[in-house]
Amino acid sequence: MTLSDEQQFLTEVVAPDGYKFTVNTGLFINNEFVAGENTIDTTNPATGKLLATVQAAEAKQVDMAVDAAEKAFHHGWKSSHPRERSRLLNKLADLIERDTDEIAHLESLDSGKAIMGVRNFDAPHSINQLRYFSGFCDKNHGKVIQTNGKLSYTIHEPIGVCAGIIAWNVSTLMITYKIAPALCVGNTVVIKTSEFAPLAALKIAALVREAGFPPGVINIISGYGHTAGEAMSHHKKIGKISFTGSVATGRLIMKGAAESNLKKVTLELGGKSPVIIFDDVENLDEAVTWVHTGGYSISGQACCAGSRVYVQEGIYDQFIEKLKTLVLSKKIGCPFEQDTFQGPQVSETQFKRVMDYIDIGKKEGATCYLGGNSINREGYYIEPTIFTDVTENMRIMQEEIFGPVICVAKFRDENDVIFKANDTTYGLAAGVFTANVTRALTVSKALEAGQVWVNCFMTIDSPIPFGGYKQSGFGRECSEYALMDYIQIKSIKINAGNPV
């Protein structure tokens, strides 16, 4: 395929703020944009209208992408100089930085996320992720182990072709979460984006080529889960899948791995994260702001959203009143207006799912203290909602809603709240607000979650491991720990002249 063949997939996208740009909507395989077997119509959730039609991979194109990645792995990337890998990761980071505005527009258009959030959080964090792991390329080494009369040591080897299957809610971020640690240690990758938000990834694909990555090292394909995703989980040449998405799909990924080649699997799944506010909190207003950010950012569509809030009896009424005031002060509307905090839900399906949960909460007997309705305008908008009088056994307290809905409950003391906070099948994140250092240490240790934030919430950073306990998954992203999920360890023992 020549570059001019690729022109057929160029699509013009226009944002409501007048920003116009062209995206190549082909499948990015072997550094070329190629045709799929199928197509996906992606819509703007703020209007419900068609944005673009992108090429969609099926099993045949998954094979093509895996073959390209396998060839690139064996013919150069596996044994490439770590400094070269580092240079390319940094180059990609620089290009994402240069084109942040375009990426932010695409992600916002496609997912309905407020553009300020993508600009201020997703894009900088993606850039950090690439730069952070670029520093590890030449620091990935094993150990020398003292053994009697023999030289024993370990070496870290890449796995080969690693796949990433990602959700729609933070696609730019997720791509860099998968690409950076995998490439750093010498693997090549095939990333499948979500059918609900493929556009920002296609812009990143163009930047991969511009950065100068050899063909096949990074392949980015759009595709449906039940076809392309299923083909990836069952693929015999994929050595590892890193999956980000729902628990239900996570189970299918493990099943696919079990039924095919027992590929390694890491899972970043859903959550129902508790946030605990003790009555000794130093600054209640700040705690309320963290709760608001943690519960309603990305219209409540964050895996680690603090959707179960436990407030100690003495400050409960004050807390609820302050949270309500803050919620009502935030703008909900067009994601492209600079002061918009909350945009629409990503799709009609997600919108209906959240509205169903609000209905369930009302029927279960919880009090809908604020919100609880859809917003009467074009697109999939839902009022930020607060449920009070929520009990542990209610579905809205146990199941991931993935929408702008926070459930608030009272607690008595430490033991009471630790029991309630851990009474869940999830274990992604948790928050604790207290001025008492001993209490902060005891409670954060007792919480069953992959990350606990004290006097803050959802402050994700590249050097800090991110991942779940229980059914929120296993494996870690970000941090040095993530590298362990992308290597195989070989031990070598050399007899240094000792007789048998």
Q: Which residues bind ligand NAD (CB under 6 A)?
A: 165-170, 192, 194-195, 224-226, 229-230, 233, 244-246, 249, 252-253, 268-271, 303, 400, 402, 428, 468, 473
- Please state, in angstroms and rounded to a whole number, the distance separating the CA atoms of residues 146 and 123: 45
- Please state, in angstroms and rounded to a whole number, the distance separating the CA atoms of residues 198 and 167: 10
For the CB of residue 259, give the shortest distance to ligand NAD in the complex, in Å: 12
Residues 58/231, Cβ–Cβ less than 8 Å: yes
- Please state, in angstroms and rounded to a whole number, the distance separating the CA atoms of residues 247 and 480: 25
Select 170 or 217, whichever has its Cβ closest to ligand NAD: 170
- Please state, in angstroms and rounded to a whole number, the distance separating the CA atoms of residues 448 and 249: 23
Q: Do strands 487-495 and 274-277 pair parallel, antiparallel, or not at all (unpaired)?
A: unpaired
For the question of residue 268 being annotated catalytic, the response is yes
Select 72 or 167, whichever has its Cβ closest to ligand NAD: 167
Select 102 or 122, whichever has its Cβ closest to ligand NAD: 122
Which residue among 70, 102, 230, 268 is the active-site one? 268
Select 122 or 195, whichever has its Cβ closest to ligand NAD: 195
For CA atoms 334, 339, 341, 346, the dihedral sign is positive
For the CB of residue 48, give the shortest distance to ligand NAD in the complex, in Å: 18
Q: Distance of CA 139 to CAs 37, 82, 480, Å?
A: 41, 9, 10
For the CB of residue 134, give the shortest distance to ligand NAD in the complex, in Å: 22
Q: At what angle do helices 82-98 and 123-134 cross, to 10 degrees?
A: 170
For the CB of residue 229, give the shortest distance to ligand NAD in the complex, in Å: 2
For the CB of residue 353, give the shortest distance to ligand NAD in the complex, in Å: 9
Select 230 or 383, whichever has its Cβ closest to ligand NAD: 230
CA 179 distance to own-chain centroid: 13
155 SS3 class: strand
Q: Distance of CA 489 to CAs 69, 212, 465, 478, Å?
A: 21, 29, 20, 20
- Please state, in angstroms and rounded to a whole number, the distance separating the CA atoms of residues 277 and 411: 9
For the CB of residue 423, give the shortest distance to ligand NAD in the complex, in Å: 19
Residues 354/327, Cβ–Cβ less than 8 Å: no
Select 152 or 398, whichever has its Cβ closest to ligand NAD: 398
- Please state, in angstroms and rounded to a whole number, the distance separating the CA atoms of residues 194 and 206: 18
Residue 482, phi-psi category: left (phi > 0), alpha (psi -120 to 50), beta (remainder): alpha
Active site residues: 268
